[in-house]
Amino acid sequence: MIYQALTQMPLLFQDNRITRFYIGGKLMHEWRKMPPCEDSHQCEELLVTSIGAISKGQPKGYAISKTIDQQGGILLSDLIKAYPNEILGERFQKYNPDQLTMLARVGDTTVRLVMQCHPNREDAKRYFHMPMGKTEAWYIAGTREVEGKETCVYAGFKPHVTKALWRQLYEKQDIDAMVDCLHQIPVKQGQMILIPAGMPHCVGPGCLFLEYHECNDVTIRVERSINGMTISDEEMFYGLGADACFDMFDYTTYDDTQILERSLMKERCLEQNEQYTLSALIEPEQNDSFSVQLVTITGEYPMPEFDGHRVLCAVEGDVKLCWSDHSIPLIQGHAALIPAACKGVRVVGEGKLTIGIPTINEEVGK
């Protein structure tokens, strides 16, 4: 039996670690205040997801979030099925039925990730029969020095790149030349990078990244091997073949200034008082999928009303989530889902919190 009461409280989730082609995890453990660990391929944590991960050898629905034991140890997908409007919000239930519109995860890497892109909505529908594409955004929650290199991410094609060149370099697996097709963007802790669906990208070594993204987990990969691992055709192209997958890249090119304007977000203060400072990291008009806010709390932050779900992450310090006469701690590096039916949440303590707010794009489905 699933209790309706769960729809009226902030939901916390059990640890949910998955394996990736990149290597890291040590910094993520420190950040999440978990027992120390060595870097390995167990380097990505799904914080809040109703779809789980696509992972070789794993069934559909693998790694869907489960509420903490204190909140019943229930699969988020089951909870949504039982109370779709209460968890998602009515408008969001109509928009992306039975699924969250916005998800969150965190990755920690000592190496460059595989060069990749994710489908936009049109391609997600056409090729995968999935309703949403995958625009994503990374909040750099921490960095570490790797072999003296500057911490960076790679995103967007440089002016010299064409579809023909990208494909040719892929056929030759000329990885250095492929990396040189992308802009290298130096990043620091606290910055936010937006990667619209279709844009080529990969996170660079030394980043601990909190990722907000649309409800999709398809990654088109264009490297046949990395970090001593072979990437199968299935893991690159999902049985679609290279032609269709190369069509999913967005071949817009950017000069050095344009890529920063498109992808490196500028924090803008929205509200400031003695208790908190609220700023926008991604504004609603900067993409049609979600916005992200950052709140620095020195007392209490009362969350405004919203008719949908929101995803919070404590990026610096531990805070307390309070509602009616209850409260629950939110530890640094952990996330919470605020269901649509959960009203009057106050965040109390000293720390920084990101707030992911999904957007409804009216054009979708027309």
Ligand X SMILES: O=P(O)(O)OC[C@H]1O[C@@H](O)[C@@H](O)[C@@H](O)[C@@H]1O
* Distance in angstroms between the alpha carbons of the first and the last residue of the chain: 38
Q: Supply the minimum distance, in Å, between the C-beta of residue 21 and ligand X.
A: 3
Instruction: List binders of ligand X among 128-157 (CB under 6 A).
Output: 136
Among 137, 161, 181, 203, which residue interacts with ligand X (rule: CB under 6 A)? Answer: 203
* Cβ proximity to ligand X, 22 vs 290, nearer residue: 22
Residue 337 sits in the site that holds ligand X (CB under 6 A): no
Q: Supply the minimum distance, in Å, between the C-beta of residue 11 and ligand X.
A: 21
x-or-dash string of contact with ligand X, 76-105, rule CB under 6 A? -----------------------------x
d(CA 313, CA 355) in angstroms, rounded, equals 7
Dihedral, CA of residue 357, residue 332, residue 202 and residue 292, to nearest 10? 20
Specify the stretch interacting with ligand X by CB under 6 A; choose among 113-121, 266-274, 296-304, 332-340: 113-121
Q: Supply the minimum distance, in Å, between the C-beta of residue 60 and ligand X.
A: 17
* Cβ proximity to ligand X, 29 vs 221, nearer residue: 221
Q: Which residues 6+ apart lie within 8 Å of 130 measured at CB?
A: 119, 124, 216, 218
Q: What counts of helices (H) and strands (E) characterise the chain? A: 10, 24
* Cβ proximity to ligand X, 19 vs 277, nearer residue: 19
Local structure of 57: helix, strand or coil: coil
d(CA 340, CA 85) in angstroms, rounded, equals 8
Specify the stretch interacting with ligand X by CB under 6 A; choose among 19-27, 154-162, 273-281, 352-360: 19-27
Residue 219 sits in the site that holds ligand X (CB under 6 A): yes
Among 74, 88, 103, 113, which residue interacts with ligand X (rule: CB under 6 A)? Answer: 113
d(CA 221, CA 224) in angstroms, rounded, equals 8
- Contact between 153 and 188 under an 8 Å Cβ cutoff? The reply is no
DSSP state letter for 122: H
Among 13, 21, 157, 238, which residue interacts with ligand X (rule: CB under 6 A)? Answer: 21
Local structure of 339: helix, strand or coil: coil
d(CA 253, CA 3) in angstroms, rounded, equals 51
| Whole-Å CA distances, 168 to 123, 163, 165, 222, 238 | 22, 9, 5, 12, 20
Q: Which residue sits closest to ligand X, CB atoms considered? A: 21
* Cβ proximity to ligand X, 21 vs 139, nearer residue: 21
Q: Supply the minimum distance, in Å, between the C-beta of residue 15 and ligand X.
A: 17
Q: Supply the minimum distance, in Å, between the C-beta of residue 303 and ligand X.
A: 26
Among 20, 112, 183, 310, which residue interacts with ligand X (rule: CB under 6 A)? Answer: 20
Tokens of 216: 């999709």
* Cβ proximity to ligand X, 22 vs 83, nearer residue: 22
Instruction: List binders of ligand X among 266-305 (CB under 6 A).
Output: none
Residue 114 sits in the site that holds ligand X (CB under 6 A): yes
Position of tokens 């040719």?
Answer: 168
Residue 31 identity:
W
Tokens of 58: 């794993």
Binding footprint of ligand X on the chain (CB under 6 A): 20-22, 44, 105, 113-114, 116, 136, 203, 211, 219, 221
